[in-house]
Structure 1
Amino acid sequence: MGGKISQVRSDNELAFYTNSASERILDITRSNHFVYRENIVAGYTNFSTSLGDKWKLQAGLRAEQTRSKGNSRTLGTTTARRYLDLFPSMFVQQNVSKEYQVSYQYSRRISRPRYEDLNPFVFFLDPYTFAQGNPQLRPQYTNSWQVSQTLKSTYNLTLGFARTADYIAEIPTQNAQDTLTLMQQRNVDRFDQLNGTLSVPVKLGSKWQMNNVLSVAYQHFQTELQGQKVNNRQLHYFLQSSQQVQLPGQLKLEVSGMYLGPQAYGIYQVKPIWWVDAGLKRSFLGDKLDVSLNVVDIFRSRQLRGSFQTASNRTAFDVYRGTQSVGLQVRYSFSKGAAFKAKTRTTNLDELNRAKD
């Protein structure tokens, strides 16, 4: 059993001034001040047991009480929410034999909106497009079921189904009178995904290892747009392969590639995307000094493209975020005497992730 209390205060202010001959004048039409407060009180309990030599059971339940208030001081509007959620989870493992295990898993989870997506202020992206936060945006809830099979602690096949209610996605809306397009995060009615993933590591001799992952999923988004039902369906697949090769001269080469087939996202159809990364590593001074050269997105191909078509309008995007890079890393270990493992501390707070752009 345990508990957690989270308190967040996000204060974002943008002041836009125009210069006159004698003083700066605040432009209230372009300025923005948004304050968001959130308090989450959570409690959880876990239970685990073994049922003979072949079965293990774990079950848990988490309860969360959330209170939030978003205040746009610029627009003079306030949105307050208060809700209680329960999140059960269950994990069952069956040891069929020493080399074959099967696990069954269920969970319910929540994903809350980013703070900036709740800010109702209007930001113009270009003369024809503007973005606006949605203070009515609700959290999305996902129920997922999964069956996983592992053979010889090496090969893994996972089959799963997930249903997300109030899925958060970007929805474009065009005003017929002035042809301006609003880009806004909204709640899609439902997102269903049925998927299977196969992981196959392969060892070619003593100097070449590879890991291959193939996943196939059927995606289905359902929502309503301008009074019309929208069903966005797609058979999606991806293939990932990573290679580790020991070269002469104590050089280690690692190459990884990813190919994502067509996929559905909200109301958008996203085109295929692929990329390749590579790294070369050399150790010196009895493995105390490591020198690594890494190249990300070698072919500058990690370009995100997609579109949405209606009877009267087509919305498309073509984005490259400048992921291509070359890096040189030098690391030296000063450890002496008995081997030790440095303690590391990682933070995976949901609140921090929601504050990111």
Structure 2
Amino acid sequence: MKLIALLLIFSITAFGQNSLHLRLQDANKEALPFATVLLKKTTDSSLVKGMNTDENGELRVTKLPLGKFTLTLQSTGFKPTKIALDEISADTQIELGVITLQPLSTELAEVKVTATKPFIEKKLDKTIVNVENSAMAAGNTTMELLERSPGVIVDKDGNISLRGKSGAAIMIDGKISYLSGADLANYLKNLPADQVSQLEIMANPSSRYDAAGTGGIINIKLKKNSNIGLNGSANATLAQGVYSRQSTGVNLNYRKNGWNWFGNGSVVNRKMLERNNLTRYFRAQNEVWENGFAFKNENQTTQLKGGVDWYYSKKTTVGILVSGNINQFTLRDGLNQTVQYTSAGTALTRLNTFNNVGNPSHNYAANFNFKHSYDSTGRELTIDVDYARFVDNSGSNLRSQFQRGDFSTLRADSLLLNNANSLVDQYSFKLDYVLPSFLKSKWGTGLKSSYVKTDNDLRFQGKNDGDANFTFLTGQSNHFVYTEQIHAAYLNSERAIGKFSYQIGLRGEWTVADGLSQAYTANSKDSTFHRDYAQLFPSAFLQYDLSKNHSLGLNYSRRIDRPSYGDLNPFVFFLDNYTFKVGNPMLTPQLTNSVELNHTYMGAFSTILGYSHTTNVITEILKQDTQARKSYQTSANMAERTNYSLGFSLPIPIAKWWSTNNDIYFNRAELVGKVENANLSPVNNQFYISSNHIFTLPKAYRLEIGGNYFSGGLESAFVFGAGGALNLGVQKTILNKRGVIRLNAQDVLLTSNPNVFIKYGDLDIIVRPRQDSRVVRLNFTYRFGNMAIKGARERATGLEAEKSRVKSK
């Protein structure tokens, strides 16, 4: 009510009793209905009021502000017209009569239709990767697309870092994904890049976004067609790595009479060879343990998404969006081999673990959204209500075969059965309001509340060969329930004052979380925890235009990363008897302060100097029971991590038919912490370069050559070595520009799998992952229906931050 009263007082004191009248028509003297009329200040061209002509092309308005102004008249397909007005007083009557707008030239219209966006665009607060027309994107997965994006590095486990900072949050259509860890990696590996239109990479997001994601945010914008009538596209891909892969997909859209129905779907069948070799040195015991496996993983995924937008009026839109995903992961007869050697190379014992896994999972989500635009100045209200459910049911059996060094039987085989059932329910309400002209600034404010409940039940059974029945293993089984509420509010303000512009914001979040771990051991006491805390997250973006071609910017943000739901889960997941993973319910959030200074030349060439400091760092670590020769992975809070970075973005046009985008980064990462009794302080300097070249050739051919190289890096507490990739792509447009054939090859030299080095305390380990990353793909895409250009409505649901944290294993 205070805000409404303030607006009323402002309008009464600032506007006089005056009027303006005009009528717009085209060269044929036909009225131009619903044309845009913008009233701007003469001094700085700032927008004061936006208006529209009526169905007869007329505009009548009273109570204009006092002072000197200009009018800008705009209508689709016509040249904008600018009119300088005499100084407006309290009783000025302005009669402009009939104004004829001139059409855009045919040549200009053709350019607008056929021009393509550059593959990489640089904006003030983000980097945009335009995926839709890239030959190297066709037939790839979204994870592979991220791997070749500027400043992005994906490690062997699918963890994503941005400009050397780990913990990047993933958004889908403006909403933080609730998946995390292995589940998020699996989703991105099964999401075809053909369904992606853009990637938005934000190293320092504003307070408008959820505060989660200390490593920045990557927003994956999926395709949605809003052309008039019935239209869409279909695509199919054949790929060959070690094994063959297939995918097919379709996008449909129907828009008519104020309704827009849309949907897309895909079916993906991926078979991959996952290889890994691990060497563990036990120096004091004069032993070396070699571990290796080569698993044939099969993923079959079906994804569906559909919705409708109802344009109730020109200013109000109501929409419903539903989506779903069904996935079946299968591993048959996977063999993991571990050999215990003396330092002289004599084999002492052998462990063969035969692994079979069946992991069906599915999820579905629904979103109701409302948008109301009060006027053409950009004042609007948006509301999102969301619900999502994730179901993951995993079953596996591990047969362990124990042998002496000479392959004779050491003891009877053991068999371990495990069933893990995970259920995640998420609810969210989000409201955003934009006031484009208040107190000479643009304001944005909003609220969000979310509630999440996870229910995880893990049960183990075991027996030895010769035993009649399986025994329920109460000590290893567990039931974990976690609930979390997050309530948030934010306020943003932005303004341009001559050569200076700014955006400042503040976001507050209140979190209440409860965890209950129930053991199956008789008379055991349940473990519980309760957390209740509030945090403030300021952000600031400053820019000063030194000249027409040079601008300086300074950005600051404070962000939070909460533990993923899976990392809080105390479950144990086995690779074999000596190697496993366990959760940590005592994890607490980490906080990051980031600062960036940047210089931009000609709106394209940029230099970025960055600094970030993270406290209470959530870090993946390895712990070791040296006496039992067991190593296990878990997450813990380290003391602090500091990152320094220097980056250059160089989009260089070499010729009219040859364009390049080049990114160079220097990163330094310092981690300080303690693992049990061992001090941990790894430091790493990294050099990263990415270069992509696009050649526009005659006869509708397009060639792309790109690649990247990194000298190594620090991911969590692990140091990884050098790596990179060379990627090639070619495409040709056919069938009257409705069909496109694309051929691409990824990681041609098979160099994208760096070694990982872990050395602290008693740990001395080298990991040599060899993923199935060299793949050749042939893709065909065909567009059908009406291709008349019509802008799509962008929207984001409210569950994105929570989705990024779903992690069942």
Is contact 1:244–1:252 with CA below 8 Å preserved after alignment?
Answer: yes
Partner of 1:50: 496
Distance 1:58 1:344, change over 3 A: closer
Query: How many angstroms apart in 2 are the aligned matches of 1:175 and 1:24?
Result: 27
Distance 1:21 1:235, change over 3 A: closer
Of 199-208 and 27-36, more deviation after overlay is shown by 27-36
Matches within 5 A, 1:1-357: 1-17=445-461, 26-51=472-497, 53-74=498-519, 76-310=526-760, 312-336=762-786, 338-343=788-793, 349-356=800-807
Q: CA deviation at 1:267?
A: 2.9
Q: CA deviation at 1:137?
A: 0.9
Distance 1:337 1:126, change over 3 A: closer
State percent identity of aligned pairs.
30
SS at 2:726 equivalent: strand
Q: CA deviation at 1:146?
A: 0.5
Query: How many angstroms apart in 1 are the aligned matches of 2:683 and 2:462?
Result: 48
Number of aligned residues: 356
Render the CA deviation track for 1:101-133: whole Å, top value 9, x for unaligned. Answer: 111110001111111111112222222222110
SS at 2:750 equivalent: coil
SS at 2:773 equivalent: coil
Query: How many angstroms apart in 2 are the aligned matches of 1:71 and 1:317?
Result: 35
Is contact 1:106–1:144 with CA below 8 Å preserved after alignment?
Answer: yes
Q: CA deviation at 1:91?
A: 0.8
Q: CA deviation at 1:44?
A: 0.6
Of 22-31 and 292-301, more deviation after overlay is shown by 22-31
Of 7-16 and 149-158, more deviation after overlay is shown by 7-16
The one-letter code matched in structure 1 to 2:645 is N
Of 240-249 and 327-336, more deviation after overlay is shown by 327-336
Distance 1:10 1:276, change over 3 A: farther
SS at 1:117 equivalent: helix
Q: CA deviation at 1:251?
A: 1.5
Q: CA deviation at 1:170?
A: 1.3
- Scaled by the length of structure 1, the TM-score of the pair is 0.91
Q: CA deviation at 1:10?
A: 1.8
Distance 1:200 1:174, change over 3 A: same
Distance 1:97 1:140, change over 3 A: same
Query: How many angstroms apart in 1 are the aligned matches of 2:467 and 2:712?
Result: 56
Is contact 1:172–1:315 with CA below 8 Å preserved after alignment?
Answer: no
Query: How many angstroms apart in 2 are the aligned matches of 1:212 and 1:293?
Result: 23
Query: How many angstroms apart in 2 are the aligned matches of 1:292 and 1:23?
Result: 56
SS at 2:546 equivalent: strand
Is contact 1:238–1:261 with CA below 8 Å preserved after alignment?
Answer: yes
- Scaled by the length of structure 2, the TM-score of the pair is 0.42
Of 181-190 and 329-338, more deviation after overlay is shown by 329-338
The one-letter code matched in structure 1 to 2:557 is S
Distance 1:215 1:77, change over 3 A: same
Of 269-278 and 326-335, more deviation after overlay is shown by 326-335
Is contact 1:221–1:265 with CA below 8 Å preserved after alignment?
Answer: no
Q: CA deviation at 1:17?
A: 4.9
Query: How many angstroms apart in 2 are the aligned matches of 1:343 and 1:47?
Result: 24
SS at 1:116 equivalent: helix
Query: How many angstroms apart in 2 are the aligned matches of 1:176 and 1:18?
Result: 25
Distance 1:74 1:327, change over 3 A: farther
Query: How many angstroms apart in 1 are the aligned matches of 2:695 and 2:795?
Result: 31
SS at 1:202 equivalent: strand
Render the CA deviation track for 1:178-235: whole Å, top value 9, x for unaligned. Answer: 2322311111211111111001111222211111111001211111233343221121
The one-letter code matched in structure 2 to 1:170 is E
Distance 1:278 1:73, change over 3 A: farther
The one-letter code matched in structure 2 to 1:54 is K
SS at 1:351 equivalent: helix
The one-letter code matched in structure 2 to 1:162 is S
Which structure's CA Rg is the greater one? 2
Moved over 3 A (4+): 14-32, 310-313, 341-348
Query: How many angstroms apart in 2 are the aligned matches of 1:339 and 1:8?
Result: 40
Distance 1:345 1:60, change over 3 A: closer
Q: CA deviation at 1:90?
A: 0.6
Query: How many angstroms apart in 2 are the aligned matches of 1:112 and 1:324?
Result: 35
Q: CA deviation at 1:27?
A: 4.2
Q: CA deviation at 1:9?
A: 1.3
Query: How many angstroms apart in 1 are the aligned matches of 2:461 and 2:676?
Result: 37
Is contact 1:140–1:165 with CA below 8 Å preserved after alignment?
Answer: yes
The one-letter code matched in structure 2 to 1:7 is Y
Of 137-146 and 246-255, more deviation after overlay is shown by 246-255
SS at 1:350 equivalent: helix
Of 118-127 and 54-63, more deviation after overlay is shown by 118-127
Query: How many angstroms apart in 1 are the aligned matches of 2:536 and 2:545?
Result: 30
The one-letter code matched in structure 2 to 1:35 is V
Gap regions ≥5 residues in structure 1: none
Is contact 2:453–2:481 with CA below 8 Å preserved after alignment?
Answer: yes
Is contact 1:215–1:239 with CA below 8 Å preserved after alignment?
Answer: yes
RMSD of aligned residue pairs (Cα, Å):
2.4
Distance 1:311 1:143, change over 3 A: closer
Is contact 1:280–1:294 with CA below 8 Å preserved after alignment?
Answer: yes
Query: How many angstroms apart in 2 are the aligned matches of 1:74 and 1:301?
Result: 45
Query: How many angstroms apart in 2 are the aligned matches of 1:340 and 1:298?
Result: 39
Is contact 2:624–2:762 with CA below 8 Å preserved after alignment?
Answer: no
Is contact 1:219–1:233 with CA below 8 Å preserved after alignment?
Answer: yes
Q: CA deviation at 1:60?
A: 0.5
Of 317-326 and 111-120, more deviation after overlay is shown by 317-326
Query: How many angstroms apart in 2 are the aligned matches of 1:281 and 1:346?
Result: 32
Q: Which has the higher contact order (CA 8 A, sep 6+)?
A: 2
The one-letter code matched in structure 2 to 1:33 is H
Of 320-329 and 216-225, more deviation after overlay is shown by 320-329
Is contact 1:232–1:266 with CA below 8 Å preserved after alignment?
Answer: no
Query: How many angstroms apart in 2 are the aligned matches of 1:280 and 1:165?
Result: 46
Is contact 1:128–1:179 with CA below 8 Å preserved after alignment?
Answer: yes
Of 112-121 and 144-153, more deviation after overlay is shown by 112-121
